[in-house]
Amino acid sequence: MSKAVYVEARPKGRPEGTAISEYVVEESGDRVLHTAATQVAAITWSKAQGYTPHIARVRHLNDKRNPAHWRAV
């Protein structure tokens, strides 16, 4: 079974409508494993490394301890 990682947009806590500068792949402890220009690139990298990437169901709901906030891709 592969380990779950989380793909999140940056900057974190950005106001709605503000541009996304990058996407990061994080472990559950918020340690950044990789940075990518697009969400697709972050997901592709995660899968190539043997991880199961998850993205937030709703962008502002991203509590990694709550599985209902995430979906595997």
pLDDT tens, position by position, 34-64: 999 999 999 999 999 999 999 988 766 677 8
Retrieve residue 3's tokens: 């380990």
pLDDT at 32 (0 to 100):
95
Distance between CA atoms of 53 and 72, rounded to whole angstroms? 6
Q: Which residue has the higher pLDDT, 1 or 54?
A: 54
Instruction: Using pLDDT thresholds of 50, 70 and 90, give the confidence band for residue 29.
Output: confident
pLDDT at 1 (0 to 100):
59
Q: Are 66 and 58 in contact (CB under 8 A)?
A: no
CB neighbours of residue 47 within 10 Å: 14
State yes or no: pLDDT of 23 exceeds 90: yes
Distance between CA atoms of 29 and 9, rounded to whole angstroms? 16
